[in-house]
Amino acid sequence: MTSPSILLEIKHQLRRAQGGRHMRAPADRLCCCQSHSFRRSRPWATTVGEGDAPGDCQVLPEAVRPRLWRWRGLVSLYESGGSALSIKATFRFPLMFVSAKYRMPNELFESSDNESPAFVSFASNCCLGLAVGTLEHHRTRFFASFLVFLLQYGYCLLVDLFHFPKLFTRPEAGLQKDPEAMSGGRVRSASHAGLWYSDNPKTLDAELSEWLNKVGAPQRPNKSARAIISPHAGYSYCGDTAAFAFKQVIPDAVERIFVMGPSHVVCLNNCALTSCSRYKTPLGNLHVDQKINDDLMATNAFSTMNFHDEESEHSIEMQMPFIAKIMENFAIIPILVGSLTQSTQVMYGKIFAKYIADPRNLFVISSDFCHWGHRFHFTPYDSSDSRPIHEQIAAMDKEGMDAISTVDPHAFTTYLKKTQNTICGRNPISVMLQAAEHFRQMNNHTAEFRFLKYSQSNKCRNMKDSSVSYAAGALYINPK
């Protein structure tokens, strides 16, 4: 059975279950995308790859567990540390294993019939990602019934007819009306601590200190960066690269930090603000600037992040330990950036121009660069080029970095259209460039962007390899 066949089976079972005693899933939780452009324009619709998510998991809803006996022959449950949960299928079907591959019980990697086991991983960036090949009909029915079962517990299923279905969480209706959320009383936990980076304060502090000390002196010792680009993968992959970006910040010159990250969890066509008053890190709590948050919300250009989506999203959180490490007296403004049209990028650039103009503000732009490999559905390769694949990837990334360094939004947009490079933070970067451009036009200033470090999670040498690229850079604004 192919993806369309599974889609038809799921629709059939949804129709049968609709109105049943246990089925509460609305039909609109079943979505389809039928083009590569859909996936390219929505960062949340890409899978986690190597270097992105060591152990990226969340707890399966309690309500699901007691009733899994109905699929006792289909799945087994495994837990790790009481916080991460995965499901191992006991029959064979091809899956793209997207996450939860670290800090998991060894049983997850064993199969009684010596075949590659199939995994279902409830991950924070895409609750399920799988590559569907050919299934026997009865297995398709069993698998579809399991997915239908999960739909009633708040998960959504995105079926990509070219490659694979996905489950992802959708904001629950009415969540933004929660009194605690409206009062700003929520605390966003460090949900990826212990998986993507150490949850031990001493260990984390020592690692951050080591990376920052290796960078040496900042490029501009007497001038703090106005914005930085920093990667958001697990620290074992990109912590040393991120340190180059944060080293360009003079802590006592900064009072507010705007942290802009792309959405890997939920589909957005705008920017969303936090409903939390604090962000936890192993190094201490970071307080949200509620006044700036309210001022931005008053523009009517922003929505509010769903609390559960905010806790699942990693792009913003991965900047927080570095911020907690280097900063002194400051507040944060977390901003989740969705898939924006060019006109929407311009609009947000105008809104943020007055904030990027203030030297007391710092913009932290969270972004990885090229995601290369079949797991990302992105494998550009010129066989006539004598350079190995990883050098061709680096050259493509370098071209993008050069476009960003011009501080010209149009140059970066043109580059993306030309290469289709899978830069997950393309929208936050574009908003930052638009803000810098609007400020430059209004205030007769010059803007300079310098990239300081580039790295890759793996050196790709053949088409079976995959890698994620990371870059660190800083924006400086100077009067003419």
Which residues 6+ apart lie within 8 Å of 265 measured at CB?
Answer: 44, 124, 125, 126, 168, 169, 309, 312, 313
The confidence score (pLDDT) of residue 450 equals 95
pLDDT exceeds 50 at position 46: no
Q: What pLDDT, on a 0 to 100 scale, did the predictor assign at position 249?
A: 94
- Between 149-153, 389-393, 408-412, the lowest mean confidence (pLDDT) is in 149-153
Q: Which amino acid is at 465?
A: D
161 pLDDT more than 50: no
Read off the pLDDT of each residue in 302-312 and give the average, rounded to a whole number: 90
Output the pLDDT for position 133. 37
In terms of average pLDDT, the best of 104-113, 167-176, 209-218, 363-372 is 363-372
CB 288 within 8 A of CB 280: no
- In this prediction, residue 154 has a pLDDT band, given cuts at 50, 70 and 90, of very low
Please, what are the domains in the chain?
A: 198-479 (3.40.830.10)
State mean pLDDT over 213-239: 91
At 375 the pLDDT is 87
Q: How far apart are CA 342 and CA 325, in angstroms?
A: 35
pLDDT digits (tens, 9 = 90+) for 356-386: 999 999 999 999 999 999 989 999 999 999 9
Nearest-angstrom CA–CA distance, 65 and 146: 13
The side-by-side arrangement of strands in the sheet containing 286-287 is 186-188, 276-279, 286-287
- pLDDT score of 195 more than 70: yes
At residue 28, φ and ψ (nearest 5 deg) are -75, 5
* pLDDT of 28 higher than 90: no
Q: Lowest-confidence range among 152-156, 280-284, 295-299, 317-321?
A: 152-156
Q: Rounded distance, CA 311 to CA 315, Å?
A: 11
Span 87-112, pLDDT tens digits: 333 222 222 222 222 222 222 222 33
Tokens read off for 53: 């998510």
- State residue 10's pLDDT score: 59
The proportion of the chain whose per-residue pLDDT surpasses 70, expressed as a percent, equals: 61
- What residues are paired with 79 via a beta bridge? 85
Write the single-letter amino acid at 24.
R
Report CA torsion sign: 197, 202, 203, 209. Answer: positive
Closest CA relative to residue 13, chosen from 180, 179, 149, 210: 149
Number of H helices, E strands in the chain: 13, 19
Q: Which one, of 20, 149, 19, lies nearest residue 72 by Cα?
A: 149
Q: What is the pLDDT of residue 236?
A: 93
Tell me which amino acid residue 85 is: L
Q: Looking at residue 328, what is its pLDDT?
A: 79
**Confidence class for position 229, pLDDT limits 50, 70, 90:** very high
Which tokens is 411 given?
């140059």
Is residue 170 within 8 Å of residue 160, measured between CB atoms?
no
> Which two structure tokens, joined as six digits, stand for 466?
């995959």
Across 64-223, the runs of DSSP E, i.e. the strands, are: 75-80, 84-89, 118-121, 128-129, 155-160, 165-169, 186-188
Indicate if the pLDDT at residue 75 is higher than 50. Answer: no
238 near 53, Cβ under 8 Å? no
Q: Is the pLDDT of residue 231 over 60?
A: yes
**Residue 385 vs residue 25, higher pLDDT:** 385
The residue among 93 and 161 whose pLDDT is bigger is 161
pLDDT of res. 8: 63
Task: Grade residue 168 by pLDDT with cuts at 50, 70 and 90.
Answer: very low
Average pLDDT on 33-42 reads: 36
Q: How far apart, in Å, do the first and last CA atoms of the chain sit?
A: 64
pLDDT at 39 over 50: no
> What SS3 class is residue 129?
strand
Residue 448 pairs in a beta bridge with 476
The SS3 call for residue 216 is: coil
How far apart CA 180 and CA 186 sit, in angstroms, is 6
d(CA 277, CA 123): 25
66: which 2 tokens? 């007691």
Instruction: State the pLDDT confidence band at 166, using cuts at 50, 70 and 90.
Output: very low
Please give the mean pLDDT across all residues of the chain. 72
- The percent helix, strand, coil of the chain (3-state, each to 5) is 40, 20, 40
Which two structure tokens, joined as six digits, stand for 151?
Answer: 């739909």
Q: What SS3 state is found at 304?
A: strand
The confidence score (pLDDT) of residue 142 equals 57
pLDDT at 74 over 60: no
440: left (phi over 0), alpha (psi -120 to 50) or beta: alpha
Task: Indicate whether 132 pLDDT > 70.
Answer: no
Residue 282 binned pLDDT confidence (cut-offs 50, 70, 90): very high
User: Which pLDDT band, with edges at 50, 70 and 90, does 143 fall under?
Assistant: low
| Helix or strand run (H / E) with residue 475 | strand 467-479
Whether the CB-CB separation of 31 and 158 falls below 8 Å is answered with yes
Kindly state the tokens that stand for 475.
């924006």
Q: Which residue has the higher pLDDT, 157 or 16?
A: 16
Q: Which of 181-190, 233-242, 255-264, 357-366 has the lowest mean pLDDT?
A: 181-190
Q: How is residue 289 written in tokens?
A: 């600037």
pLDDT of 85 over the 80 cut: no
pLDDT band for 47, please (50, 70, 90 cuts).
Answer: very low
Mean pLDDT of 259-276: 92
- Report, as an integer, the average pLDDT of 171-196: 62
Of 134-138, 206-210, 217-221, 448-452, least confident by mean pLDDT is 134-138
Mean pLDDT of 75-85: 28
pLDDT score of 475: 96
